Amino acid sequence: MCGIVAYIGNREAYPIVMKGLRRLEYRGYDSAGIALIDKELLVYKCKGKVDDLEYFIGTQNTLGNIGIGHTRWATHGVPNDVNAHPHYSQAKDLTIIHNGIIENYNAIKKALTLRGHTFTSDTDTEVLIHLIEDIRNNAKVDLVEAVRLALNEAVGAYAIVILSKDNPNQLIAARKSSPLVIGIGVDEFFCASDATPIIEYTKNVVYLNDEEIAVINRGEELKIITTKNIAKTPYVQELELNIEAIEKGGYEHFMLKEIFEQPRSIRDSIRGRVLVDQGLIKLGGITEYSQKIVNAKRIIIIGCGTSWHAGLVGEYLIEDLARIPVEVEYASEFRYRNPIINEDDVVIAISQSGETADTLAAIELAKSKGALVYGICNVAGSSIARTTHAGSYTHAGPEIGVASTKAFTAQVAILTAFALSVAKQRGTINESRYQQLLIELDTVPELVEKVLLQSDKTKAIAAIMKDAPNSLYLGRGYSFPVALEGALKLKEISYIHAEGYPAAEMKHGPIALIDEEMPVVVIATKGANYEKVVSNIQEVKARKGIIIAVVTEGDEHAALLADYIIEIPESDECLVPIISVVPLQLLSYYIAVMRGCNVDQPRNLAKSVTVE
């Protein structure tokens, strides 16, 4: 979603802010803008991409060593030049960039209008900067105090940075429910909505907490106060990110790079946790709570999109291995449906970004009812990682492509380790199966590597599917969530309508769609439901659907039935999702490329969904 970047120091701000905006492009946006101070307050903004902004700025003045930049993902008001950030105050001496939503902006706008303010945009952000200006002028306070008082009036979420024409030596930043990180260099500071624009300049960062305001004065130490006016000591952390991780490294797209990184990212996610030599699993982040988890009456898994799909695999794993009842919920539904949450429930919150607004709100709800919340996140220091009681990082590395790939397999790897560990402690798995699964889980990265070697075959199948307007993805048991994930990957990056279904449900409706034009992707690997899935394939075949089957290596029976097959190496059924999803990711990728789609930044989508 929206991206923020800001700089104050001795260098020219423009190239740093523009480069930062490009680093944030992956978050998804529809307009961009920048403000600089070179005696005058210079604001340039337009609809479109950062390239469009650069073209629009052309040879205009871009001097100054203080600047703020923004990529906007429209919420209030259509994507156009006027609604793009930064926004001016009434007197045009202040300007603001903002991520999040000010929910009571309408009431504030009405009150300000009565006091003579006029607004040029449809945004809530413009209202906020006018409110700050109004307070500063009428309460006769300095800008920092005006920001503090205004934020006490604002309801909603924000990460903001403010620039004042009259003070080219100061940036004011603040956050609530929307991330903001401050990079500390030598005589310079950076602000950004995530660390990617900062990493090439400094590894020392401060993550602002909710309701904190950072006062960043040139040549001074960083100062932080809360919106209640309590001074805080900045907690400086060292970033573990490196610059290679956020560049394409020779791949045409981030998504392809991230798909091919999976042998490494899965390995990193289980390293130090799945200890084959010692025959045990160690999830350090939950040791303190292991009794509560082992004795849980119920586990509720919450997430959105791909993370929700990982949660579904988690449900199969935990119920199958550890025999604890599991419910998997869309965070967005869970938070609003007055769910029954007990103190002996354990809630697992899954999120790649760690910033998804619905998941965060669902976590707060679960915490307020006394449940233990265990987070599985990819982004270190993210809001979800910080707000959960216990957690495991997935260590997949930065995921830049909007379509989640390596985060999913890492999440499922952690859930597998979790289920196995709880099963062992509860005595619901016998020792030899436990040890066998440990060994097999440890070899999954190599099996994924084998699947990736067949990418050309998947590409050839993509050429067959690329012009289909619709497609169906079917799976049963552990492969049902994989079918959902395969369909989501296809629709989000290629814009082909795709539906994932439990294979047996097909006859209750979707079978009506099948004809000789309809590609049906079936995950038909060996396992408990194999024969049943083969019957489902027969049903598709009888209606002349085009069958693309993901099968276990050497399965000649399924190969004879299907029109096209993708083979994956044999493994225990409960480990198949991590492996079988990989060819589906590749299939979507190649189809999207063949259709000329913007794979890494699909239309309308944002990487980090920080609004509900």
- The residues that are catalytic are 2, 607
Joined together, the tokens standing for residue 30 give 């529809």
Rg over alpha carbons for the chain, rounded to the nearest Å, is 25
Is residue 351 within the footprint of ligand M6R (CB under 6 A)? yes
Is residue 609 within the footprint of ligand M6R (CB under 6 A)? yes
Report the alpha-carbon distance of residue 339 to residue 533 in Å, rounded: 34
Site for ligand M6R (CB under 6 A): how many residues? 16
| Of residues 474, 460, 458, the one with CA closest to residue 541 | 474
Q: Of 180, 182, 376, 403, which lies in the binding site for ligand M6R, with binding defined by CB under 6 A? A: 403
Report the alpha-carbon distance of residue 163 to residue 452 in Å, rounded: 48
> Are the C-beta atoms of 254 and 261 separated by less than 8 Å?
no
The single-letter code of the amino acid at 31 is S
Q: Of 265, 306, 416, 421, which lies in the binding site for ligand M6R, with binding defined by CB under 6 A? A: 306
Q: Is 481 left (phi over 0), alpha (psi -120 to 50) or beta?
A: alpha
Helix (H) or strand (E) holding 46, with range, is strand 40-47
Report the alpha-carbon distance of residue 349 to residue 332 in Å, rounded: 12
Report the nearest approach of ligand M6R to the CB of residue 311 (Å). 10
Is residue 388 within the footprint of ligand M6R (CB under 6 A)? no
> Are the C-beta atoms of 64 and 38 separated by less than 8 Å?
yes
Q: Of 352, 392, 601, 610, which lies in the binding site for ligand M6R, with binding defined by CB under 6 A? A: 352
Is residue 36 within the footprint of ligand M6R (CB under 6 A)? no
* Region near ligand M6R per CB under 6 A, out of 3-11, 277-285, 303-311, 467-475: 303-311
Residue number of the CB atom closest to ligand M6R? 305
Is residue 586 within the footprint of ligand M6R (CB under 6 A)? no
Q: Of 353, 388, 416, 571, which lies in the binding site for ligand M6R, with binding defined by CB under 6 A? A: 353
Pick the closer one to ligand M6R by CB: 305 or 502: 305
- The CB-side HSE value for 333 (13 A sphere, CA atoms) comes to 11
Is residue 404 within the footprint of ligand M6R (CB under 6 A)? yes
Q: Of 184, 241, 361, 402, which lies in the binding site for ligand M6R, with binding defined by CB under 6 A? A: 402
Pick the closer one to ligand M6R by CB: 133 or 258: 258
Report the nearest approach of ligand M6R to the CB of residue 391 (Å). 14
Please report which residue ranges of 188-289 form alpha helices under DSSP H: 254-260, 262-270
Is residue 601 within the footprint of ligand M6R (CB under 6 A)? no
Q: Of 4, 173, 304, 550, which lies in the binding site for ligand M6R, with binding defined by CB under 6 A? A: 304
> Are the C-beta atoms of 23 and 246 separated by less than 8 Å?
yes
Is residue 525 within the footprint of ligand M6R (CB under 6 A)? no
Is residue 359 within the footprint of ligand M6R (CB under 6 A)? yes
Report the nearest approach of ligand M6R to the CB of residue 608 (Å). 6
Report the alpha-carbon distance of residue 268 to residue 252 in Å, rounded: 24
Per-position DSSP letters for 440-488, written without gaps between them: HHHHHHHHHHHHHTTHHHHHHHHHHHTT-SEEEEEE-TTHHHHHHHHHH
Is residue 494 within the footprint of ligand M6R (CB under 6 A)? no
The single-letter code of the amino acid at 306 is T
Report the alpha-carbon distance of residue 409 to residue 592 in Å, rounded: 21
Residue 281: alpha-carbon gap to chain centroid:
27
* Region near ligand M6R per CB under 6 A, out of 69-77, 122-130, 414-422, 601-609: 601-609
Pick the closer one to ligand M6R by CB: 164 or 359: 359
Pick the closer one to ligand M6R by CB: 86 or 602: 602
Report the alpha-carbon distance of residue 338 to residue 64 in Å, rounded: 52
Pick the closer one to ligand M6R by CB: 262 or 351: 351
**Which residues make up the interface to ligand M6R (CB under 6 A)?**
304-307, 351-353, 356, 359, 402-404, 492, 605, 608-609
